[in-house]
Amino acid sequence: MITIIDYGMGNLRSVQKGFEKVGFDARISSDPNEVRKADKVVLPGVGAFGDAMHNLRETHMVEAIEETVKAGKPFLGICLGLQLMFESSEEFGLHEGLKLLPGHVRMFPPGLKIPHMGWNQIEIQKDDSILKDIPDRSAFYFVHSYYVDPGDSGDSTTLTDYGIKFTSIASSENLFGIQFHPEKSSTLGLRILKNFGELR
């Protein structure tokens, strides 16, 4: 069972429907114990980093996420969920993240239109199971004003060019994070959800 964490941030139903379209049961839950029991866990999210971390702490999800990751279960962060996986963010002050991956969340440099919104391409940096049957230079749908700056360049699975080259997919062992919205990215976005669902 795939469990999608409900912590009051974002449209969870669209992610759930994406998984259902590619043949997987996905349950939305705000119960940390349900997260602990899940085979795979998804952390979506739209909104401010600081608010999201506050909600995760208040709902005792931080501990459940840490236990899930330590148990080696596949874990997927989407959009804000990707950013929360890192050590900190400079969005509206400095905020601590989940610290699942080394690195920080930064604002796009001055002069770039923000949010970065619309379709943009990925440049594949390394082979990864999450990218099965995804061609290099495929386009996906983005909406974000901040980007992740990994502390380990080996965690950058794909890069995307928006004035600067930023990490659009990060991965390390059982951890996967996606900056774009796969559930809004047509056939190839759904393929990425299918690839995650098929992980063992």
Q: Active-site positions?
A: 79, 181, 183
Tokens representing 115 are: 């949010």
- The helix/strand/coil state of 21 is helix
Strands (DSSP E) contained in 90-191 are: 95-96, 103-107, 116-121, 123-124, 139-144, 146-150, 156-162, 164-172, 175-178
What's the number of CA atoms in the CB half-sphere (13 Å) around residue 185?
29
- The helix/strand/coil state of 186 is helix
Distances (CA, A) of 100 to 65, 118, 134, 155, 156: 9, 28, 25, 11, 14
Phi/psi at 33 (5° precision): -70, -35
